[in-house]
Structure 1
Amino acid sequence: MVGGLLGLKTTGKNRPVQNPPLILVGCSGGPDSLALAAVCAFFATRGEVRVGAVVVDHQMQEGSAEVAQATAGQLRGLGLDPVVVRTVDLEHDGAGPEAAARAARFGALEATAHQLGADQVLLGHTLDDQAESVLLGLARGSGTRSLAGMRERRGMYVRPFLGLRRDETLAICQALGLTPWHDPANQDPAYLRVRVRNTVLPFLGAELGPGVAASLARSATILGYDADFLDELAEAEFVTLAQRSTESGTEFPQIALSENGLRGLPAALRMRVLALAAVELGGVQPSLERLAAAETLLARSGSAGPVQLAGKVSAWRISRKHSVPHEGASYGKLVLKRSS
């Protein structure tokens, strides 16, 4: 499984190569990532790849530094090299501690990969994690991309264990005599994901059958293909429609999108094009409500805006009563700009 995702053949024969590539395992010390590190250590002995690890200390719990160092010690004992411990400070921007920890973690993983020259970072998410992600997306009323859950590959990140159950990673640790760290936060019902894991999924399994987690993960795979296709189409339309400029007298960029071009798109693509513009300007993914509000500007029957999107990005249309000439560069355009 791991070897296939890394492009390695699992024939059992050693195939050492000159200057083998470095891959990193993001390891919290929990059973999933520790089992992944142990499996990857096998491939390191074959000489086809070098395997290192990154342990991120989020400083969210007392004794986190000791946990990180103990995890690093186990990883070095498995033969992983280099093993880097990164201590991060969380930036709370109103999105909650889980989102802040995730952002800090991925920032540390990416920075370490670039520093060490690693092309891939492996993460230990399992099928159970995938099922939880789909349910969380449903509960939040999210779109196709969110319901698609986590992808097996996205950029430098690879998740080889998405087909494994959490119990199987525990079995790997037990078989190899490893001592995983069990994060007490994973049992704290204050977190929605914990309630989904310990209450909602067991209930669904009891009522719908034990295969519900696998069914949810399978749905994520199908939706992932759909989301990828729609995202590709939206990206192509965005490239065609987007006109970038800087507002006179400021340093803030803005993007103008043809109103007629947007109106001619199916809703699924139109929403994505608007979101792409907002994100490019430094905003975050807007909610459905914000995107729908921006869409109403295209009707030219009410306010010309501005409509506030997420991340200080606003959208408005050039009104016919505006002093801009009808043949001007901005007329007939929906304009998005990020404020200071």
Structure 2
Amino acid sequence: MAYSATMKKAIGDVRSALAAVGISRQSNRFAEHGEHAPEADAPTILVACSGGRDSLALAAVSHIVAGLLGVHCGAVIVDHQLQAGSDKVALAAAQRCNGLGLDPVIVRTIEVEGSESGRSGEDAARQARYDAIVETARDTVAAAVLLAHTRDDQAETVVMDVLTRSAGIDALAGMPPTFVRDGVRFVRPFLDLSRAQTTAICRERDMSWWDDPTNGDDVPADQPLPQNYPLRSRVRHTLMPYLSNFFNGDVSVHLAQGTTICQEDKDFLETATNEVYCKSVSWNMQGAAAVMLVKPLAQAHPAIRRRAIARVLAELGIPLSKRHVLSIEALVIDWHGQGTLSLPSGYSVNRQKHVIRVCKNG
């Protein structure tokens, strides 16, 4: 079958992304002409599929690549039950994945609990979705889970994080091409493909897709989305087109390309942070959830010290803010007998001599 230039690029991007995490051709017979079934013990990759154009395009391309490599390719579809008819959307996505030849195709129906302390409804849904995907990946012993985030998603993420989180280099670095969550490897092969290209792939494969109504696709392009739409939808529909028009070019390309450089800078900072973290942080000691030694933190560069403190809070599930990190840093470098500091999620922090203790209240 002859493929378009867009499809060839997508196939190459998926192959490269899998090779980067150690998933390559299982034997030379998969380089020979014709279709060959993978061995029973060959690795399994799962595509997280919503039924939208991006994830369906990824499912189609991943199935092709799996055949070239001799690995199994399945899909996991998560039904959040947050919209009327979500079960039908999930079923349709599963049927399309089955039609592409993916196996296994697993639908997970979940309930998203109400917003937790410091967490929005969108964050709660995202957490529940990842939990379901992680559990499915473990059940199927998947070597990797593929996510269909595109270059447009990457650019939108950078804009949102820079403008709402003020997270420095982490915001500019955007979404990493691969990461591990709860022991499961996630891969984003489409970060160099645009949404227009995933749409083209779906049309080339004659696949229909589902458009999430919260995306606001039915709202005219010259009208801003109302405030009750999700932030990402408003950024996608209103802000990104405005910026591209203002700068007379597709800003998503420039924003996404910049993340590659920033990812390298972030990796360097994370390596340095890990050294300080290992020297200074202990868990579940002295009646505290976490204990941080003052001396190695005080000797570290401020950027590394703050990242080490932020990592401790993140691993405890405490919502981060610059104010909290700086307050804890003051216990390290500006200690003059401050009392206990209150943190979100029912935690507190205090200094006792040469250690800083992060405790769960009560």
* 5+ residue gaps, structure 1: 319-330
C-alpha displacement of 1:254 = 3.5
C-alpha displacement of 1:72 = 0.3
Question: In 2, distance between residues paired with 1:261 and 1:299?
Answer: 11
- On the 8 A contact 1:283/1:313 being kept in 2, the answer is no
Question: In 2, distance between residues paired with 1:195 and 1:244?
Answer: 41
Q: Which residue of 2 aligns with 1:83?
A: 105
CA distance 1:237–1:13, shift in 2 (3 Å): farther
2:103 aligned counterpart, secondary structure: coil
Correspondence list, 1:1-340, <5 A: 1-7=13-19, 8=24, 13=33, 18=39, 19-46=41-68, 48-91=70-113, 92-94=115-117, 95-140=119-164, 141-155=166-180, 156-187=185-216, 189=226, 190-247=229-286, 252-280=287-315, 282-300=316-334, 302-318=336-352, 331-340=353-362
Question: In 2, distance between residues paired with 1:224 and 1:87?
Answer: 34
2:345 aligned counterpart, secondary structure: coil
- On the 8 A contact 1:278/1:309 being kept in 2, the answer is no
- On the 8 A contact 1:254/1:338 being kept in 2, the answer is yes
Question: In percent, how many aligned pairs have the same letter?
Answer: 37
TM-score scaled to structure 1, two decimals?
0.89
C-alpha displacement of 1:268 = 0.8
Equivalent residue letter for 1:200: L
Question: In 2, distance between residues paired with 1:45 and 1:180?
Answer: 23
C-alpha displacement of 1:80 = 0.5
Question: In 1, distance between residues paired with 2:69 and 2:157?
Answer: 36
C-alpha displacement of 1:242 = 2.2
C-alpha displacement of 1:198 = 1.1
- On the 8 A contact 1:53/1:75 being kept in 2, the answer is yes
Question: In 2, distance between residues paired with 1:47 and 1:224?
Answer: 28
Equivalent residue letter for 1:102: R
Q: Which residue of 2 aligns with 1:322?
A: none
TM-score scaled to structure 2, two decimals?
0.83
* 5+ residue gaps, structure 2: 1-12, 217-224
1:6 aligned counterpart, secondary structure: helix
CA distance 1:245–1:72, shift in 2 (3 Å): closer
Equivalent residue letter for 1:97: G
1:336 aligned counterpart, secondary structure: strand
Q: CA RMSD in A?
A: 2.1
1:32 aligned counterpart, secondary structure: helix
Question: In 1, distance between residues paired with 2:280 and 2:66?
Answer: 47
